[in-house]
Amino acid sequence: MRQCMDTPNLHRRFHKIIGQVQALDRMIEEDVPCEDILALINAAKSALHKAGQVVLEGHIKHCVRDGIEHGDVDKTIEQFTTAVERFANMK
């Protein structure tokens, strides 16, 4: 599955998200206003959602295309449907 993902892009995104989560932990200890904490929670959530989009895009461009061209179309459609359902459940 690694070949279908933009690994450097995802690593960069996840390192940023890790930094945001660590900052959130520090903010709680530093008694930062709730509004600021909520803003950073929203930013981290949005960053995770975008990372999910990157993974889904890679799945479509590589796994789905390859499955249709060289594999079992029905299985490919089933796997694609599962991927979309899992992504859609991210809230």
**Tally of CA atoms within 13 A in the half-sphere of 67 that contains its CB:** 17
Q: DSSP characters for 13-64?
A: HHHHHHHHHHHHHHHHHTT--HHHHHHHHHHHHHHHHHHHHHHHHHIIIIII
What's the whole-model pTM score?
0.83
The pLDDT tens digits for 32-88 are 999 999 999 999 999 999 999 999 999 999 989 989 999 889 999 999 999 999 999
Q: Does residue 86 or residue 1 have the better pLDDT?
A: 86
Q: Does residue 61 or residue 5 have the better pLDDT?
A: 61
User: Quick check: 50 and 13 in contact, CB under 8 A?
Assistant: yes
At the top level of CATH, the class of 2-88 is mainly alpha
The pLDDT score that the predictor gives to residue 6 is 86
The pLDDT score that the predictor gives to residue 4 is 74
User: Quick check: 14 and 48 in contact, CB under 8 A?
Assistant: no
User: What are the domain boundaries of the chain?
Assistant: 2-88
User: Quick check: 44 and 17 in contact, CB under 8 A?
Assistant: yes
